[in-house]
Amino acid sequence: MLNKIYLEFSDIYQNAKYEVLISPPIAFRIGELNQGLEKLLVDEAVETAALITACNPKGIKHGHDENHGAMEDLKFSLNERKLPFLPAAGSDPKGAWKEESYFILGITMDEAEALGRQFQQNAFILIETGHAPRLVWP
């Protein structure tokens, strides 16, 4: 099943534009080391982060209200786990779609994978100091 999902969504996720929505925003791409992200991790005294959404589970388009509710559930889950997070987004470079996300600071791989599975996401982005952001398929 993962192979089918990977084949269907890999190029879309790989070529998307991602942003941490702070002032000024930090735009980044998969596979490209980003000094803004590096500085943010250092400033926040963490070595890892993940960009995760709860929108459009399994890559199936859902309505605004359903996605908003899912993001509220993700926010609740992050607060329950005491994981700090910042607003973020992922979008198609052509502007065809945009998904609200959270940039979660100091999250472990295991925690990120668990959230990805809980919110039925095909993939999330893992950021580690000294490394380019990468897609992880939970």
Whole-model pTM: value is: 0.93
Count of domains in the chain? 1
- The residues near 34 (Cβ < 8 Å, ≥ 6 apart) are 26, 28, 132, 133
Model pLDDT for residues 70-107, shown as the tens digit of each residue: 999 999 999 999 999 999 999 988 877 899 999 999 99
Rg, the chain, Cα only: 14
pLDDT for residue 3 is more than 80: no
Q: What is the pLDDT of residues 35-60, one digit of tens each?
A: 999 999 999 999 999 999 999 999 88
pLDDT value for 14: 86
- The predicted pLDDT at position 95 comes to 75
In one-letter notation, the amino acid at residue 86 is L
- Cα–Cα dist 127/112, whole Å: 11
Omega cis (within 30) before 87: no
The residue range of the domain holding 88 is 2-136
